[in-house]
């Protein structure tokens, strides 16, 4: 069955088609949810909520852009919805901190370690970092989605980068001390 046929059947509330769509995209969308969640259990909840929204709104997909991109946006918005109105973001009236360049020597740093330290960032920093660095959103798009200012987005990104840089440097210092 083609993807368009599957979408059409899901639009008609065909539970077998919904199950097939879930099987096709759940692992990709789970990784998106995990990036935007505090932990594994919250990511699972976000994935289930995202699929409920997908099945409810699938008839609104109009074949403009990729279907997978549409699904991903729903998953991100579902995860972000948990943070709206929770006071996760502090609105700042200061100049943003200069961007920190993070240089990663991939021989010393594992992907698991990088994912772990990104996951450990405070919510407001992790969300902005993921949206800007990993998913390519602009600060204006982030500000609109999170209902913050562009300056807050820029500041949160800079602070996230600073925290990550410090953790990477500490890790490398410990790694280099062990190899001496």
Structure tokens at 158: 């800079």
Neighbouring residues of 89: CB distance < 8 A, sequence distance ≥ 6: 83, 124, 146, 147, 148, 152, 156
d(CA 11, CA 64): 17
Q: Quote the pTM value.
A: 0.74
- Residue 120 has which token pair? 């450990």
pLDDT score for 39:
85
Task: Chunk the chain into consecutive blocks of 10 residues (it has 180) and report each block's average pLDDT, rounded to whole numbers.
Answer: 93 96 97 88 95 96 91 93 64 47 59 87 93 94 91 95 93 68
pLDDT of amino acid 107: 57
Cα–Cα distance measured from residue 178 to residue 180, given in angstroms and rounded to the nearest whole number? 6
* Residue 42 CB-density burial (10 A; 0-12 exposed, 13-18 middle, 19+ buried): middle
Q: What are phi and psi of 179, to 5 degrees?
A: -85, -5
pLDDT for 93: 43
């Amino acid at each position: 069955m083609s993807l368009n046929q599957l979408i059409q059947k899901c639009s008609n509330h065909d539970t077998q088609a919904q199950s097939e769509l879930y099987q096709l995209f759940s692992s990709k969308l789970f990784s998106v949810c995990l990036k935007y969640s505090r932990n594994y259990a919250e990511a699972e909840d976000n994935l289930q909520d995202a699929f409920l929204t997908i099945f409810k709104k699938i008839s609104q997909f109009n074949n403009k852009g990729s279907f997978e991109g549409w699904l991903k946006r729903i998953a991100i918005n579902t995860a972000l919805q948990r943070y709206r109105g929770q006071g996760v973001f502090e609105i700042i009236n200061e100049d943003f901190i200069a961007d920190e360049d993070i240089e990663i020597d991939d021989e010393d740093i594992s992907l698991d370690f990088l994912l772990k330290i990104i996951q450990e960032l405070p919510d407001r920093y992790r969300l902005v970092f993921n949206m800007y660095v990993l998913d390519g959103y602009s600060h204006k798009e982030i500000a609109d989605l999170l209902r913050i200012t562009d300056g807050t987005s820029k500041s949160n990104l800079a602070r996230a980068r600073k925290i990550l840089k410090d953790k990477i440097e500490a890790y490398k210092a410990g790694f280099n001390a062990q190899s001496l």
